[in-house]
Amino acid sequence: SNGSTLMTQIYASMVKCKLWSTCSYAAPPEAVVTTAVTNMGHVAMPASHSLAFPDPLFVSLVFGISVALMSYCTWPLSGGHLNPAVTLSMLVAMKVRPSWALCYILAQLLGAITTSALLYGLTPEHSLGEMGINKVRVTSLQALAIEMIVSFQYILCILSTSENRRDPSKCGHLIIGLSVTLGHLIGYTGCGMNPARSLGPALITFVFTNHWVFWVGPLAGGLAAAILNEWVLFPKCSGFR
Amino acid sequence: SNGSTLMTQIYASMVKCKLWSTCSYAAPPEAVVTTAVTNMGHVAMPASHSLAFPDPLFVSLVFGISVALMSYCTWPLSGGHLNPAVTLSMLVAMKVRPSWALCYILAQLLGAITTSALLYGLTPEHSLGEMGINKVRVTSLQALAIEMIVSFQYILCILSTSENRRDPSKCGHLIIGLSVTLGHLIGYTGCGMNPARSLGPALITFVFTNHWVFWVGPLAGGLAAAILNEWVLFPKCSGFR
Amino acid sequence: SNGSTLMTQIYASMVKCKLWSTCSYAAPPEAVVTTAVTNMGHVAMPASHSLAFPDPLFVSLVFGISVALMSYCTWPLSGGHLNPAVTLSMLVAMKVRPSWALCYILAQLLGAITTSALLYGLTPEHSLGEMGINKVRVTSLQALAIEMIVSFQYILCILSTSENRRDPSKCGHLIIGLSVTLGHLIGYTGCGMNPARSLGPALITFVFTNHWVFWVGPLAGGLAAAILNEWVLFPKCSGFR
Amino acid sequence: SNGSTLMTQIYASMVKCKLWSTCSYAAPPEAVVTTAVTNMGHVAMPASHSLAFPDPLFVSLVFGISVALMSYCTWPLSGGHLNPAVTLSMLVAMKVRPSWALCYILAQLLGAITTSALLYGLTPEHSLGEMGINKVRVTSLQALAIEMIVSFQYILCILSTSENRRDPSKCGHLIIGLSVTLGHLIGYTGCGMNPARSLGPALITFVFTNHWVFWVGPLAGGLAAAILNEWVLFPKCSGFR
Ligand SMILES: [Ca+2]
Ligand SMILES: [Ca+2]
Ligand SMILES: [Ca+2]
Ligand SMILES: [Ca+2]
């Protein structure tokens, strides 16, 4: 019959599709997910009550929930690191090979930059503001310390959840989302926590004041978390997977 | 004894009831659940602080929690798609047969329309407002893009949770609820995300300005999620269940 | 040695304690838990920003979380029904024996009344207000309809979670807590949802205006949920456990 | 090759590291975690909208989430008691040996004090306020009663979750976090709930007015919870683990 012929064709194209996608497994999700997270954060910000001082609870929930969901949806693919600081920590924890780590980071940066470019069309003119660039409201050193603490707890959570990745209960996603929410709740600095997310708007608007804080803070915090978790709290000799 | 006679009668009526309900298994829950969700959203809206600009956090939580709970309570019955966009994506993902999909969509529309009609009696006069019709506060194209993004993440979550339906930990419901909350937090447009929910009030008040956005957006976003999840990220050849 | 003698005495008293507590297993938790929930709700209300119109999000979270936690802590004991409407539904669903149901309801009422009496000492004078009595801000019939809807979804959730009571993942508590939060978020009427909780303050202040709404609404909503869940959606012949 | 030599050296240092850290297993996490929790609470407070009356929802979420995450990240190590009142209850419940309990409490106090000292550098001058010292806004006796109730429910939750420590679903962390959030939502007194957290800022600013309330309240509440849970609700003869 006609219906079953159509079915057969769909199945054939699905098989082809499967072969292609098996090759390109891990990298595309990274780009898609970083894109989505950055996007959602930026779309959410102007929607919150005040633009000059966006409601931190509102923004924190949007970031936390979106990271939890994106982590859930792409779980078995790329391990959920949407962030150069996470990837670096995973490398130090020997949970990702150097070559893969490089791919991930490039995909993350690419995703963040294209998103920031796409943003102009989506955000209403009057609420575009300064495109949600992370601003330093305290001194640089205070901002750096806060970025480190915030990223430290975030990446410690990611390393903890990655232990029981094959665990049937998928609460790890909620843990990671809560951690992102916490980071944005306690961040004075607009909470970078993710160098890729900070780079995107900075490149588009070409404002790089104190931009280094949002690279050094997360990377140092993540490094500290990796060392604490892998070498002090739960030392084990596993080697690269 | 008297007590055990009564017991026997109750058991007999339960057996009869069981036979009848086995036949009409999947369709009634759809109508009940769509009704409940629409209802709760509308009841909640006027209760929030300001009517002209209802507190988005408040409305988002009500929608998210009610979808999570309704999905939990009807889980093994109709698979939890309370929304024509979800049903279309399930059809594309070959997780529901075409004839069932049609039944579901009809039940969803019926539920939404009857609810909107019932609404007049429940809402206090002064807070009826415009019955929570989705309004486009940005340009139509921006609204369309946002509807697509919001529905994309929602239906991607639904497809992800439907993979492990027999999973003992029922966290999937929370994931879906969080996704609905996220959608309402980032939606400029009053967040349709569900054509059935948008149709109900539009029909009752007979205001169809920009109504197409709330059909094209969710359906296109859902289609994109289905293609990404089923054919790119997690391709498999399963056929209809 | 001295230490081990002490240890032996402690063990002996623990064994005695065990025998006594096995007899009085189910009733005391009911009283303790109803007391705690009522208490927390009343303590929370004056702490919220405005007394005339307490922040509904704040109150909703306090009620939802406290019910979730109390349900978690007493789970295997009395099945978690802290509410005459729940107990009635459980009776209709044949999940509790009539004699036990009566005990539960008496314990619930007793707990709520003693709590309301204790309340005078704990709440600061100036913020005592009207002791958080449920007030009808809409017409009686609208209040009744809302009470029914709110209790319907609450008790449907309780019945759903009680299916998989031996489930290892304890997400059922969160579901119940979310349901209580939802009920308080959408309740115009101050959300009774629990006749015991409504009776306590009414008795102490001797204000019984519209008090019947907070009995008829929850009991009717619970009855509807029990019939829907046990006889329509998931019919089965199990008899009393 | 060069790469594998480096790898070998890293492995060697990891093995050494493992030996060392096995000895110092339980105590360091206690200090780290108490430090982190205190820190986050204090960093969060000034960030909330108003300093004179910080948004209780905001502060409650920060405390709750941070305790949940820290409990998650250090789970198998020190059992998650970050608080002298918790440790005392665990001792009464015979879930920790006296010598270990002493170690824990000392680590907790040390962590809280050093954190309060570190705080001066991190918090912006103008928002330092009174360093988030717990203040008694009601009479001392009312504050004491509230502290007892709040700590009672918190420690009851901790004892409940410690039953199923080897449970695959890690929802216990969320339960504990919710309990902390609840405690801060209903606390008039600035919610101590944790003598270590109260001691830190008091020592630094040398203000000890009503300080006893924040020791007697939590310890008495915790004791009551331990007796209720271990000797009344779920009595068992297990002895020290
Ligand atoms: Ca981020
Ligand atoms: Ca919806
Ligand atoms: Ca209640
Ligand atoms: Ca605390």
Both tokens assigned to B168: 């003992």
Per-residue confidence (pLDDT) for residue C42, from 0 to 100: 60
Q: Is the pLDDT of residue A191 over 90?
A: no
Q: How far is CA C64 from the centre of its chain?
A: 10
D59-88 mean pLDDT = 79
Residue with tokens 């962590």: D111
Binary contact (D21, A228; C-beta < 8 A): no
Taking CA atoms, what residue in C is nearest to B11? C237
Per-residue confidence (pLDDT) for residue C167, from 0 to 100: 46
Residue with tokens 């801060």: D184
Per-residue confidence (pLDDT) for residue D122, from 0 to 100: 60
What distance in angstroms lies between residue C78's CA and the mean position of ligand 3's atoms?
17
Binary contact (C173, D169; C-beta < 8 A): no
Residue with tokens 């999940």: C95
Nearest to B146 among A14, A43, A61 (CB): A43
Torsion of CA D102, D105, D108, D111, to 10 degrees: -50
User: What is the helix (H) or strand (E) element at residue B208, kind and residue range?
Assistant: none
Per-residue confidence (pLDDT) for residue C83, from 0 to 100: 85
Q: How far is CA B180 from the centre of its chain?
A: 9
Q: For chain A, report the end-to-end CA distance as a whole number of angstroms.
A: 49
Binary contact (A175, D177; C-beta < 8 A): no
Per-residue confidence (pLDDT) for residue C93, from 0 to 100: 85
Q: For chain D, report the end-to-end CA distance as a whole number of angstroms.
A: 49
Q: Which ligand is closest to the CA of D83, given by its number?
A: 4
D39-44 mean pLDDT = 61
Compute the nearest-CA separation of A236 from chain D (Å): 7
Per-residue confidence (pLDDT) for residue A53, from 0 to 100: 47
**CA dist list (Å): C144 to B3, B122, C108, C151, C209:** 33, 10, 22, 11, 13
Instruction: Indicate if the alpha-carbon torsion angle C122, C128, C133, C137 is positive or negative.
Output: negative
Binary contact (B29, C233; C-beta < 8 A): yes
Chain D interface residues (partner C, CB cutoff 8 A): 56-57, 138, 142, 145-146, 149, 153, 156-157, 160, 164, 167-169, 171-172, 174-175, 178-179, 181-182, 185-188, 228-229, 231-233, 235-237, 239
Rounded to whole angstroms, how far apart are CA atoms A220 and D58?
A: 27
Rounded to whole angstroms, how far apart are CA atoms D149 and C62?
A: 14
Which chains lie within 8 Å of chain A at 3 or more CB pairs, if any? Answer: B, D
ipTM: 0.77
What distance in angstroms lies between residue D67's CA and the mean position of ligand 3's atoms?
26
* Percent of chain D residues past pLDDT 70, beyond the cut: 57
DSSP string, A93-128: TTSS-HHHHHHHHHHHHHHHHHHHHHHHHHS-GGG-
Which of D146, D153, D161, D162 should we substitute to test contact with C (largest number of C Cβ atoms within 10 Å)? D153
Rounded to whole angstroms, how far apart are CA atoms B147 and D105?
A: 53
Rounded to whole angstroms, how far apart are CA atoms B119 and B200?
A: 10
Q: Is the pLDDT of residue A215 over 80?
A: yes
**Looking at per-residue confidence, does D79 or D25 come out higher?**
D79
What distance in angstroms lies between residue C24's CA and the mean position of ligand 4's atoms?
34
C168-183 mean pLDDT = 78
Q: Is the pLDDT of residue D93 over 80?
A: yes
Both tokens assigned to C134: 């449920």
Q: For chain B, report the end-to-end CA distance as a whole number of angstroms.
A: 49
3-state secondary structure at position B224? helix
Binary contact (B40, C168; C-beta < 8 A): no
For the CA atoms of chain D, what is the radius of gyration? 19
pLDDT tens digits for range B41-87: 655 555 544 444 456 777 788 888 888 888 787 766 655 677 889 98
Binary contact (A69, B179; C-beta < 8 A): yes
Confidence of residue B26 (pLDDT cuts 50, 70, 90): low
Contact D158, D180 (CB under 8 A): no
Which of B151, B232, B236, B237 should we substitute to test contact with A (largest number of A Cβ atoms within 10 Å)? B232
Closest C-alpha among D94, D97, D86 to residue D34: D86
Judging contacts by C-beta atoms under 8 Å, the chain A residues touching residue D43 are 146, 149, 186, 188
Compute the nearest-CA separation of B161 from chain A (Å): 8
Chain length of chain D = 241
Compute the nearest-CA separation of D205 from chain C (Å): 27
Q: How far is CA B53 from the centre of its chain?
A: 23
**D32 class by beta-carbon count within 10 Å (0-12 exposed, 13-18 middle, 19+ buried):** buried
Count of pairs with CB atoms under 8 A, one residue in B, one in C: 102
For the CA atoms of chain C, what is the radius of gyration? 19
Per-residue confidence (pLDDT) for residue C222, from 0 to 100: 94
Per-residue confidence (pLDDT) for residue B21, from 0 to 100: 41
Closest C-alpha among C14, C46, C33 to residue C173: C33
Which chains lie within 8 Å of chain C at 3 or more CB pairs, if any? Answer: B, D
Instruction: Indicate if the alpha-carbon torsion angle C192, C193, C199, C201 is positive or negative.
Output: negative
Confidence of residue B164 (pLDDT cuts 50, 70, 90): low
Confidence of residue B1 (pLDDT cuts 50, 70, 90): very low
D1-7 mean pLDDT = 50
D89-114 mean pLDDT = 84
B10-15 mean pLDDT = 48
What mean pLDDT, rounded, does chain D reach?
71
Confidence of residue C76 (pLDDT cuts 50, 70, 90): low
Residue with tokens 């036949």: B23
Both tokens assigned to A179: 């951690």
Residue with tokens 């995300």: B193
**C56 class by beta-carbon count within 10 Å (0-12 exposed, 13-18 middle, 19+ buried):** buried
Nearest to C182 among B57, B66, B174 (CB): B66
Per-residue confidence (pLDDT) for residue B30, from 0 to 100: 67
Rounded to whole angstroms, how far apart are CA atoms B239 and D39?
A: 54
D131-141 mean pLDDT = 59
Confidence of residue C26 (pLDDT cuts 50, 70, 90): low
Confidence of residue D15 (pLDDT cuts 50, 70, 90): very low
* Percent of chain C residues past pLDDT 90, beyond the cut: 8
**Looking at per-residue confidence, does A24 or C37 come out higher?**
C37
pTM: 0.78
Per-residue confidence (pLDDT) for residue B64, from 0 to 100: 87
Compute the nearest-CA separation of B20 from chain A (Å): 33
Judging contacts by C-beta atoms under 8 Å, the chain D residues touching residue A181 are 61, 65
**Looking at per-residue confidence, does A1 or A79 come out higher?**
A79
Binary contact (C174, D171; C-beta < 8 A): yes
DSSP string, A166-191: T-SS-THHHHHHHHHHHHHHH-TT--
Rounded to whole angstroms, how far apart are CA atoms B5 and A157?
A: 59
Tell me the three-class secondary structure of chain C, residue by residue.
Answer: CHHHHHHHHHHHHHHHHHHHHHHCCCHHHHHHHHHHHHHHHHHHHHHCCCCCCCCHHHHHHHHHHHHHHHHHHCHHHHCCCCCHHHHHHHHHCCCCCHHHHHHHHHHHHHHHHHHHHHHHHHCCHHHCCCCCCCCCCCCHHHHHHHHHHHHHHHHHHHHHHHHCCCCCCCCHHHHHHHHHHHHHHHCCCCCCCCHHHHHHHHHHHCCCCCCCHHHHHHHHHHHHHHHHHHHHHCCCCCCCC
**Looking at per-residue confidence, does C212 or A127 come out higher?**
C212
Per-residue confidence (pLDDT) for residue C223, from 0 to 100: 94
D72-87 mean pLDDT = 75
Chain length of chain A = 241
Binary contact (C36, D138; C-beta < 8 A): no
Per-residue confidence (pLDDT) for residue D223, from 0 to 100: 94
Per-residue confidence (pLDDT) for residue D16, from 0 to 100: 44
Which chains lie within 8 Å of chain D at 3 or more CB pairs, if any? Answer: A, C
Helical pair B195-205 and B27-47, crossing angle rounded to 10 deg: 70
Both tokens assigned to C112: 């709520």
Q: Is the pLDDT of residue A21 over 50?
A: no
